[in-house]
Amino acid sequence: MSDQGEEAASAQWGPPYLLYLGSANDDLAIKTARGLAYWRPHWCLGQHRRDDCAVTLDLPDMDIVRAKAAGASTMVIGVANAGGVMNDAMIADAIAALDAGLHVVSGLHQKLRDQPEIVEAARRNGRALFDARAPRPGIPVGTGARRLGRRLLTVGTDCSVGKMYTALALEQSLRRRGLPADFRATGQTGILIAGAGIPVDAVIADFISGAAESISPARADDGWDLIEGQGSLFHPSYAGVSLGLLHGSQPDALVLCHEPTRRHMRGLRDYPIPELMACMEANLAAARLTNPAVKPVGIALNTSRLPAQEAIATCERVSALFGLPCLDPVTMGVESIADNLVACFAD
């Protein structure tokens, strides 16, 4: 977990974290901070909220000085404004954190490294800056060369259907079984949770599969890489990202993620959600290019918009259709998918 920018190459960012919520006024705006607090609670000392902040993560409220005194190493700007830009208050708070001796990392579109006052404050304090949405330099072109290790990729019928959550839940489940398992992050929230990764939607197009190869290198410990999928092969805006990620991941196993009440692709009223079986088949067909032995091991549904009974019935219906475990990772856990994964790949 280290700064990969040029401006403080020797300084290390990492937990314990102060989560900066700023002036956020709805839950969507603090999605990144919430993900970190949910998946890495032991890393999160407290939250920093301005007076007009309307949301909370139920962490201790701390200002920068108190967080530093309590042992915080890094302030995480885990809030999204409209357009992902930094306002003046946020810039001032980032500088104050650096001056107090904290590293600063951000999941915003607008980069810390593009704010000269922030870059200067990091330099004068010898602190690290890290932009989770900025790919590191030097990502290679994908080679398709077969590599050791076992990899699972979460794929989806659409964007925002639970691909990150499912991969993280599987990491947790496998680790609890004593199996080596590592979540591999491909988006800014996942990168802050993992402390590493590449935002694949932000790399240059020729390097998508190379980015996927980089984040899930060969491993020889019989463990699993749980790779966070992005987008959908059926999303006309982003399918290229999904395909390059699929090829570079060389997945041994796929989990298909889906939101059963959604009627059209995110942001595109004219594009219906693909049929589940067709979506699984298309992902398997594409994945076979780099791993002919790829297997589907489960389906993860986001049933948050369904009554509980209907959620269970939907999972049972999909499970019967595919002959695979189907569940909602949030309300039902992922144990049956993890069971099936382990069973499918028992040597």
Give the 3-state secondary structure of residue 25. Answer: coil
Neighbours of 210 (CB within 10 A): 21
Token representation of residue 312: 């269970």
Token representation of residue 17: 């974290």
Q: Does 145 bind its own copies (CB under 8 A)?
A: yes
Binders of its own copies among residues 255 to 274 (CB under 8 A) are: 268, 270-271
**Shortest gap between Cβ of 213 and its own copies (angstroms)?**
9
Determine which residue in the list 104, 132, 200, 226 makes contact with its own copies, applying CB under 8 A. Answer: 200
Q: Does 157 bind its own copies (CB under 8 A)?
A: no
Q: Does 234 bind its own copies (CB under 8 A)?
A: yes
- Identity of the residue, 201 or 328, whose beta carbon is nearer to its own copies in the bound complex: 201
Q: Which residues contact 58 (CB under 8 A, 6 or more apart)?
A: none
**157: part of which helix (H) or strand (E)?**
none
Cβ burial 143-181 (10 Å sphere, 16+ → b, else e): eeeeeebbbbbbbbbbbebbbbbbbbbbbbbbeeeebeb
Q: Does 216 bind its own copies (CB under 8 A)?
A: no
Q: Does 241 bind its own copies (CB under 8 A)?
A: yes
Q: Does 206 bind its own copies (CB under 8 A)?
A: yes
The region of 12-20, 21-29, 54-62, 237-245 touching its own copies under the rule CB under 8 A is: 237-245
Binders of its own copies among residues 2 to 41 (CB under 8 A) are: none
**Shortest gap between Cβ of 147 and its own copies (angstroms)?**
12
Q: Answer whether the bond into residue 16 is a cis peptide, omega within 30°.
A: yes
Q: Does 95 bind its own copies (CB under 8 A)?
A: no
Determine which residue in the list 142, 190, 260, 296 makes contact with its own copies, applying CB under 8 A. Answer: 142
Q: Give how many residues touch its own copies by CB under 8 A.
A: 38
The sign of the dihedral angle between the CA atoms of 250, 259, 160, 19 is: negative
The region of 99-107, 150-158, 160-168, 236-244 touching its own copies under the rule CB under 8 A is: 236-244
Evaluate whether 112 touches 94 at the Cβ level (below 8 Å): yes
**317 vs 126, 272, 333, CA distance in Å?**
57, 21, 18
Binders of its own copies among residues 269 to 298 (CB under 8 A) are: 270-271, 282, 285-286, 289-290
Evaluate whether 342 touches 177 at the Cβ level (below 8 Å): yes
Token representation of residue 319: 């499970």
The region of 29-37, 45-53, 141-149, 167-175 touching its own copies under the rule CB under 8 A is: 141-149
Residues that bind its own copies (CB under 8 A): 141-146, 200-206, 208-210, 233-234, 236-245, 247-248, 268, 270-271, 282, 285-286, 289-290
